[in-house]
A and B are shown apart, each in its own frame.
Chain A
Amino acid sequence: MTSAGTGHASARGVGVGVWRRALRSLARKPFAVASLVIIVAFVLVAVFAPQIAPYDPTKPDFLAVRKAPSAAHLLGTDDVGRDVLSRLIFGARASLMAGALSVVIAMVLGVPLGLIAGFYRGTVSELIMRFTDALLSFPFLILAVALAAAFGPSLTNAMIAIGVASAPTFIRLTRGQVLAVRAEEYVQAASALGAGDARVLWSHVLPNSLAPLLVQGTLTIATSIIAESSLSFLGLGVQPPTPSWGGMLNVAKNFMGQAPWMAIWPGLAIFVSVLAFNLLGDGVRDAFDPRD
């Protein structure tokens, strides 16, 4: 995780060079480019869902219950006659929003705590790290389930639960980055020359942490999408009738014999979007790897 160093460039000019080189390296990786295209396509689908979806995703049609895929309903209909394709399109919103916002929550909590834990030695730092260890020892989903149960099931609470459960990774990552940068001579020189803590953090530590945070952020979007769909699958995330991929699978599992099309597409959508973020994360990591 922490291996994705940037080579610790300090001066602005060198920093830009690292980013430009990484971008060029990324553009040469077919998997990463393909996954980026897929992600952009998913985002567009989510944004323009009302324009793209052929039907109202929440409107039941009891004359068209569990109809197999046809020209009228390309992916069939569900147990109350709603169009599966339209629900799939609108479901992208919950998944992508959960993916993105959970990571924002995790970073807003994790990065400052990691900076503090890395920069200041002593009780505070020790306390933050033990707290992090404790949080990491809860199985991710069991923690998210317990939090979602405590706060009540909803998409917002699921995102908060996933964000809190993912924060420890960012605390550890940021702390490791701070410890590495602090040991650099130019940072010690800056401190010796009278640069305050805030200035050292802002102009040396943060720029050097951006690349690994970007990699971890991308990979965490993938795990958050799976986590949100897992919680919705368990009935603890997005509440019906609002469409979500996990929620669609929760219903679909009761009709596997009669309407298998209800189960195939939502899972495939989760799989493809998660795979795309994982491939992109791997690509970005390799792109920043100075050994390449």
Chain B
Amino acid sequence: MLPYILRRVLTAVPTLLIVTVMVFAVQRMLPGDPAVVLAGEERDPEVIAYIRARYRLNDPVPVQYVAWLGQVGQGNLGQSFRTRQPVAQLLLEKLPVTVELALLSLLVALAIAIPAGVLAAVRKGTAVDYASTVAALSGISIPNFWLGIMLILLVSVRWKLLPASGFVPFSDGVWANLQRMIMPAIVLGTGLAGVLMRQMRSSMLEVLKQDFVRTARAKGLAPFLVVVRHALRNALIPVITIIGLQLGALLSGAVLTEQVFTIPGFGKLVIDAVFNRDYAVVQGVVLFTATSYIVINLLVDVAYALANPKIQVG
């Protein structure tokens, strides 16, 4: 098992390095001289020369890359052109908001996907199965920003049940926070629910065919207990792997959801930065999200290897 984990960690390292090269390269492809951009409106040649020297813009590109990587390694992601705040600090401020949104959506998705997927598998080929399969595909196909707008129209504008937008930190009141997070969580969770339900259904079908399920049935255990106590636990394992792989989709969805509900998280940060041409922030968000994706999937795989004795050498 240890060699597998080691090898898995070792493949993550070059991937991470390539990610940094790509982020650095895209930054270099941006139109305009960064020194001129940083110098502001006046374009004082002395200021430009100073910036060039300070940010080592006269060095060869590979040297610049190594210097930049060294800074990133120390948690220095540069500073926002607009607010002059360090990018790392901005990210840390917005992170809890997006993490909360993502966790709530995951909860919504699991609450829908597990029962629906199990039911579809147990009642395979019946109307229940078809209905939940079509529902899952609809969840995947519905543009979540539109679902958000429709929910606001119905729940906030027509029924006046929940606030349409805004954000209240968790520390300022749990209920006030949840009131504003319920709709976004449903919107973001719907697509994920579709993906997870399909996985749940197919892995449940796989598990139900296995010998230990037949044994459990043969010893006279009630069908409900067979499914819940024996099959479900095993069928959930691939679902967890899928959750790790869906993390990117969840973050992409969060960008749109936060835009619709004006939630000040990662998504709002990156979109505002794009329109303000605040490239350091865009770069920071891209680098951070890609790195988290790699690290979290590494952890999922390692946890999977630890939980599953069958993976010895991979």
Indicate, yes or no, whether A interacts with B.
yes
Interface on A for B, CB 8 Å cutoff? 31, 130-131, 133-143, 145-150, 152, 222, 226, 229-230, 233-236, 246, 249, 252-253, 256-257, 260, 263-264, 266-268, 270-271, 274-275, 278-279, 282
Interface string of B9-20 (1 = CB under 8 A from A): 001001110110
Least CB separation from B147: chain A residue: A267
Residue B248 at the A interface, CB < 8 A? yes
Chain A proximity of B179: nearest CB distance (Å): 18
Q: Which of A130, A233, A260, A278 contacts B140 (CB 8 A)?
A: A278
Complex alpha-carbon distance, A134 and B22, angstroms = 9
Q: Which of B33-41, B63-71, B148-156, B206-214 is the interface stretch?
A: B148-156
On whether the beta carbons of B137 and A278 are closer than 8 Å, the reply is yes
Least CB separation from A219: chain B residue: B140
In the assembled complex, which residues on chain A have CB atoms less than 8 Å from the CB atom of B290? Answer: 134, 137-139
Interface string of B274-293 (1 = CB under 8 A from A): 11000100110110011101
On whether the beta carbons of A145 and B149 are closer than 8 Å, the reply is no
Complex alpha-carbon distance, A249 and B22, angstroms = 32
On whether the beta carbons of B256 and A141 are closer than 8 Å, the reply is yes
Residue B270 at the A interface, CB < 8 A? yes
On whether the beta carbons of B15 and A256 are closer than 8 Å, the reply is no
In the assembled complex, which residues on chain A have CB atoms less than 8 Å from the CB atom of B249? Answer: 139-140
Complex alpha-carbon distance, A141 and B274, angstroms = 13
Complex alpha-carbon distance, A257 and B157, angstroms = 6
Complex alpha-carbon distance, A138 and B285, angstroms = 10
Q: Which of A131, A138, A152 contacts B248 (CB 8 A)?
A: A138
Q: What number of residue pairs across chains A and B have CB atoms under 8 A from each other?
A: 142
Q: Which of B19, B26, B145, B255 contacts A249 (CB 8 A)?
A: B145
Complex alpha-carbon distance, A136 and B252, angstroms = 13
Given contacts A130-B14, A233-B256, A263-B153, contact A271 B286 (CB under 8 A): no
On whether the beta carbons of B270 and A137 are closer than 8 Å, the reply is no
On whether the beta carbons of A139 and B157 are closer than 8 Å, the reply is no
On whether the beta carbons of A256 and B149 are closer than 8 Å, the reply is yes
Least CB separation from A133: chain B residue: B15
Least CB separation from A258: chain B residue: B157
Q: Which of A142, A234, A260, A271 contacts B289 (CB 8 A)?
A: A142
In the assembled complex, which residues on chain B have CB atoms less than 8 Å from the CB atom of A145? Answer: 255, 270-271, 274, 282
On whether the beta carbons of A253 and B256 are closer than 8 Å, the reply is no
In the assembled complex, which residues on chain B have CB atoms less than 8 Å from the CB atom of A230? Answer: 143, 145, 252, 256
Chain A proximity of B28: nearest CB distance (Å): 10
Complex alpha-carbon distance, A133 and B279, angstroms = 24
Q: Which of B14, B22, B146, B270 contacts A267 (CB 8 A)?
A: B146
In the assembled complex, which residues on chain B have CB atoms less than 8 Å from the CB atom of A279? Answer: 137
Residue B231 at the A interface, CB < 8 A? no
Given contacts A236-B274, A260-B157, contact A130 B18 (CB under 8 A): yes
Residue B294 at the A interface, CB < 8 A? yes
B interface size (C-beta, 8 A):
52
Given contacts A137-B15, A137-B293, contact A264 B274 (CB under 8 A): no
Chain A proximity of B274: nearest CB distance (Å): 4
In the assembled complex, which residues on chain A have CB atoms less than 8 Å from the CB atom of B294? Answer: 133, 137
Least CB separation from B22: chain A residue: A134
Interface string of B144-183 (1 = CB under 8 A from A): 0111011011000100000010000000000000000000
Most buried by A among B141, B152, B293: B141
In the assembled complex, which residues on chain B have CB atoms less than 8 Å from the CB atom of A140? Answer: 248-249, 252
In the assembled complex, which residues on chain B have CB atoms less than 8 Å from the CB atom of A268? Answer: 146
Residue B114 at the A interface, CB < 8 A? no
On whether the beta carbons of A229 and B19 are closer than 8 Å, the reply is no
Q: Which of B19, B31, B134, B282 contacts A134 (CB 8 A)?
A: B19
Q: Which of B26, B153, B253 contacts A260 (CB 8 A)?
A: B153
Least CB separation from A152: chain B residue: B31
In the assembled complex, which residues on chain A have CB atoms less than 8 Å from the CB atom of B282? Answer: 145-146, 149
Chain B proximity of A263: nearest CB distance (Å): 5
On whether the beta carbons of B150 and A263 are closer than 8 Å, the reply is yes
A-B pairs, 10 with minimum CB distance: A267-B146, A141-B252, A134-B18, A275-B141, A139-B248, A139-B251, A149-B274, A274-B141, A133-B15, A137-B293
Residue B260 at the A interface, CB < 8 A? yes
Q: Which of B31, B146, B247, B252 contacts A271 (CB 8 A)?
A: B146
In the assembled complex, which residues on chain B have CB atoms less than 8 Å from the CB atom of A148? Answer: 274
Given contacts A234-B259, A267-B149, contact A150 B143 (CB under 8 A): no
In the assembled complex, which residues on chain A have CB atoms less than 8 Å from the CB atom of B149? Answer: 249, 252-253, 256, 263, 267
On whether the beta carbons of B29 and A235 are closer than 8 Å, the reply is no
Known: A136-B248, A141-B253. 20 other contacts (CB 8 A): A130-B11, A134-B16, A134-B18, A138-B290, A140-B249, A141-B252, A145-B271, A145-B282, A146-B26, A146-B274, A146-B286, A152-B31, A230-B256, A233-B143, A235-B275, A249-B145, A253-B149, A256-B164, A271-B138, A282-B137
In the assembled complex, which residues on chain B have CB atoms less than 8 Å from the CB atom of A229? Answer: 143
Chain A proximity of B24: nearest CB distance (Å): 12
On whether the beta carbons of B285 and A142 are closer than 8 Å, the reply is yes
